[in-house]
Amino acid sequence: MDTKTPIAGTTDGRISNDDRLHRFGQCGAVLRDVLYDDRAIDDEEFIFIDKHFQILQMAYLRWKRKHRPTEEVVPLM
């Protein structure tokens, strides 16, 4: 499975997984700043943000279920 996705503006047209997470973090910081500014968000922006949060939450929960250690692996104390 190819772990790189074509991206315009890079030298070889691809971006690494580490760069993807870095860019995701930058987008999160921009969104945080917008929300901290406490400016009004119109209905279209609200729906856009809300749907992306829902998609992200579903993907994260799916990933977490797949990668969560089973009870057999976790030692009991």
**15-52 pLDDT, tens digit each:** 888 899 899 999 999 999 989 999 898 999 999 999 99
2 and 13 in a single domain? The answer is yes
**28 exposed, middle or buried (CB, 10 Å; 0-12, 13-18, 19+)?**
exposed
What integer pLDDT is reported at residue 39 of this predicted model? 87
Tokens 């749907």 found at: 51
64 and 33 in a single domain? The answer is no
45 and 21 in a single domain? The answer is no
Tokens 């104390």 found at: 77
- How many distinct structural domains can be found in the chain? 2
Q: Which residues contact 3 (CB under 8 A, 6 or more apart)?
A: 16, 17
Q: By residue range, what is the domain housing residue 48?
A: 41-70
4 and 28 in a single domain? The answer is yes
11 and 24 in a single domain? The answer is yes
Mean pLDDT of the chain: 81
26 and 49 in a single domain? The answer is no
Sign, CA dihedral 21-22-25-31, equals negative
Task: For residues 1-26, give the mean pLDDT.
Answer: 70
Half-sphere exposure of 10 (CA within 13 A, CB side): 11
Label residue 74 by pLDDT band (50, 70, 90).
Answer: low
